[in-house]
Amino acid sequence: MANLKNIRTQIKSVVSIQKVTKAMKMVAAAKLRKSQERMEQARPYSKRLEDLVQHLLQDVNRKMLPLLNKHKILKNHGFLIITSDRGLAGSFNSNIIKRAEHTINNIGKENAVLFCIGKKGLEYFKKRGYNIEFYTMDFWSTLNYNDAIQTGQKIISAYHSEKIDSLDVIYNFFKNTASQELTYKKLLPLEFESKNKNQLNDIIYEPSKEDIIKSITPKYFNTQIWQYLLESFASEQAARMIAMENATENAKEMIDDLNLEFNKARQTAITTEMLEIVGGAEALSN
């Protein structure tokens, strides 16, 4: 039977951990409300901009803008991998890293160029010698649109200089508080599903459709990255809140088990002491 003092020490330690996990859950819940609101506000704009670009690209020359130009040979594959800076969020980061590593290994490590957002992804791939073209971290607490623009400029520059011939994005899409969907999307070259070309063909564009494309396509690209960041940040807070809630419940169960063990040990100690007293009294009476 374990020593009573050791059990009491374990109970105190678990109680302290439970307080920390409960506090972290409350912080994550507060951050989740704000990040979810920003993410949901950005979704309609991002979707409407995507529909507009999709409609305009149907009958224009893609070679007029380097961002739209498809490379003839797809040799260097770019990957935008979005993780968090901190852990304690369940499988939030590990799922992204596993999917990215599996995909990269299929095409060949030497053919992959990584753009890492978040400390966890950067540390993992840097230690294993992957080709990291650009990385950024420690910005989630002050997340703003300039972060998306900075990342977008680095990616566009790499695409123009043919350091990458395509770009895939791996991130967590926010479905609801209890569920985040691991998402793999192709971002470059910009391609859309063909729709009915006769739709809205009587629209007169001023300025010309080509000028609108040149102006709006870079904005669309940066807006997509911004949406990925918002989705990932909201998913991170939701995953951390659920993980800390589970940790708090597990700590409660562990405390109950330790209390039961403590009571059993104390009862055993009292019984042993009483037997010793009774044995000593009988010895004196004899």
Cβ neighbours around 91 below 10 Å, total = 14
> Which residues of the chain fall short of a pLDDT of 70?
1-2, 59-64, 192-203, 286
Domain that holds residue 59: 45-243
The pLDDT, as a whole number, for residue 16 is 93
Number of domains the chain is built from: 1
Q: Indicate whether 233 belongs to any domain.
A: yes
Q: Indicate whether 26 belongs to any domain.
A: no
The pLDDT, as a whole number, for residue 104 is 92
Residue 195, domain CATH: 3.40.1380.10
pTM more than 0.75: yes
Q: Tens of pLDDT along 219-253?
A: 888 999 999 999 999 999 999 999 999 999 999 99
Q: Indicate whether 212 belongs to any domain.
A: yes
Q: Indicate whether 2 belongs to any domain.
A: no
Q: Indicate whether 182 belongs to any domain.
A: yes
Rounded CA separation 220/4 (Å):
65
Q: Indicate whether 273 belongs to any domain.
A: no
The pLDDT, as a whole number, for residue 195 is 56
The pLDDT, as a whole number, for residue 141 is 85
